[in-house]
């Protein structure tokens, strides 16, 4: 099939590349000229394990192209996926759908034969109705169908999630579109993915309900970890004991820093706001948002306690600054709150992240980037393990760190407290 992905970010690029690997002809379009120029040269705008190899392979096969020409790319395609950003509005409440509507206006001037227009971006309920309205102002409804096909891939696992999804949700009442999409996804369905056809609004809501639930699960275990710290109980035991119950499940039940990334913070705010508009109070989700927003201050307090309040001139090293491991995504990473707060109190920060130096910290005085783990930690007073990259799982701290009184705060619980104790290392973890 001939596909056009509008928006070549995490979702558009990964899905476009993977669809081309399934044998489709794909054009990935973006308004960012540099991004497209780089992609044409084989330079990727994001870090995602396995993506580079697939880009090279499918470019070579001539099934994957990159373009900034939206009109031309749409006219050459049967199916158009909208994968642009849907950030939180500047006022901090609700979702900003301006990129979606601007694309819808561009699409309507490029339709001359039947097209399926799909929202892969996370959009609030009834956005599909709005897109249909915008396009039908200029184009006959017989020439297009607007479908919701929310994306559930996780950064860092995106390729695997694309090829082995738990489910594919297709929101449409249009039989022709449904048949087309069943065909498009047939290689994944034959590998065991469940294909669910719902109404367009249901598909839009399934995405928000899923993310809100996962954010709730993380927040739930994070709050329990606070209790564990007060009563000499290990949160890891609680996670295992609860997670083995099949009704609960162990995934997303690991305590750690505040959840971040490009989805959970914005999607929880968006769905709470949507529900308010429909005069429904999602009080659980509102509590989750509040609890998560408080989490970084709570962990900061813990850091102050660990250094006994003496933060001035303390050399603190962060291992990993993205919102989680295996991604270069800094959006809503809890480090963006914690590092500036520690700097304000007089700390000196050195960090290492396997995905390189971050623009977000380049202009902050007393924050520096180290090119490897050892140089990041060698002069440390306190080492904070912020993400669980494999690179951080077997460090010989005693050998590397020169200051013999160094401490470790492991925010991902990747080391064993008892082994640290045996080595006489002052080790602090989450929820124990």
Closest CB to ligand NAD among residues 122, 239: 122
CB closer to ligand NAD out of 122 and 317: 122
Footprint of ligand NAD (CB under 6 A):
6-12, 29-32, 35, 70, 83-86, 99, 102-103, 121-122, 151, 153, 155, 262-263
Residue with tokens 């609030």: 124
Distance between CA 80 and CA 77 in Å, rounded? 7
Of residues 84 and 429, the one with the C-beta less far from ligand NAD: 84
For the bound state, the minimum distance from the C-beta of residue 95 to ligand NAD, rounded and expressed in Å, comes to: 8
Residue nearest ligand NAD, CB atom distance: 9
DSSP state of 5: E
Minimum distance from residue 6 beta carbon to ligand NAD (Å): 5
How far is the C-alpha of 150 from the C-alpha of 284, rounded, in Å? 23
CB of 397 to ligand NAD, least distance (A): 32
CB closer to ligand NAD out of 205 and 384 = 205
Annotated active-site residue in 4, 18, 228, 263: 263
Active site residue 83: no
Cα(366)–Cα(197) distance, integer angstroms: 53
Cβ-count burial 171-208 (b if 16+ within 10 Å, e if not)? bbeeeebbebbeebbeebeeeebebebbebeebbbbbb
List CB contacts of 254: < 8 A, sequence separation 6 or more. 221, 239, 412, 413
The CB-of-299 to ligand NAD minimum distance in angstroms stands at 23
Closest distance to ligand NAD from the beta carbon of 30 (Å) = 4
Query: Which two three-digit tokens encode residue 109?
Result: 């001037």
Q: What does the block give as tokens for 207?
A: 């995405």
Both structure tokens of 110? 């490029």
Instruction: Give me the active site residues, please.
Output: 263
């Amino acid at each position: 099939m001939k596909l056009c992905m509008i928006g070549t970010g995490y979702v558009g690029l990964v899905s476009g590349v993977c669809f081309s690997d399934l044998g489709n002809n794909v054009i990935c379009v973006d308004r960012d000229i540099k991004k497209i120029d780089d992609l044409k040269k084989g330079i990727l705008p994001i870090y995602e394990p396995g993506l580079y190899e697939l880009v090279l392979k499918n470019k070579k096969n001539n099934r994957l192209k990159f373009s900034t020409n939206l009109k031309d790319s749409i006219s050459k395609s049967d199916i158009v996926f909208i994968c642009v950003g849907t950030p939180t509005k500047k006022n901090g409440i609700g979702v900003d759908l301006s990129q979606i509507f601007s694309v819808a206006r561009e699409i309507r001037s490029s339709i001359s034969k039947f097209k399926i227009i799909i929202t892969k971006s996370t959009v609030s309920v009834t956005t599909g109705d709005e897109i249909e309205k915008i396009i039908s102002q200029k184009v006959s409804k017989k020439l297009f169908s607007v479908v919701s096909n929310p994306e559930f891939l996780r950064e860092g696992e995106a390729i695997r999630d694309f090829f082995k999804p738990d489910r594919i949700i297709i929101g449409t009442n249009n039989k022709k579109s449904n048949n087309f999409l069943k065909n498009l996804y047939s290689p994944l369905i034959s590998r065991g993915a469940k294909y669910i056809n719902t109404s367009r609004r249901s598909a839009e809501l399934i995405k928000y309900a899923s993310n809100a639930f996962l954010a709730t699960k993380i927040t739930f275990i994070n709050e329990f970890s606070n209790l564990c710290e007060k009563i000499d109980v290990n949160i890891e035991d609680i996670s295992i004991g609860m997670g083995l119950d099949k009704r609960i499940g162990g995934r997303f039940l690991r305590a750690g820093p505040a959840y971040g990334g490009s989805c959970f913070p914005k999607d929880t705010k968006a769905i709470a706001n949507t529900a308010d508009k429909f005069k429904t109070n999602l009080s659980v989700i509102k509590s989750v948002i509040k609890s998560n927003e408080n989490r970084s201050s709570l962990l900061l307090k813990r850091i102050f306690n660990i250094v006994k309040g003496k933060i001035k001139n303390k050399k603190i090293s962060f291992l990993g600054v993205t919102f989680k491991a295996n991604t270069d995504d800094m959006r809503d990473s809890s480090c963006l709150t914690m590092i500036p707060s520690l700097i304000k109190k007089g700390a000196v920060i050195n960090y290492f992240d396997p995905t390189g130096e971050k623009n977000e910290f380049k202009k902050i005085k007393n924050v520096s980037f180290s090119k490897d783990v050892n140089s990041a930690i060698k002069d440390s007073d306190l080492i904070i393990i912020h993400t669980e990259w494999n690179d951080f799982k077997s460090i010989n701290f005693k050998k590397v760190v020169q200051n013999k009184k160094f401490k470790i705060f492991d925010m991902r619980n990747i080391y064993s407290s008892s082994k640290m104790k045996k080595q006489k290392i002052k080790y602090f973890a989450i929820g124990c």
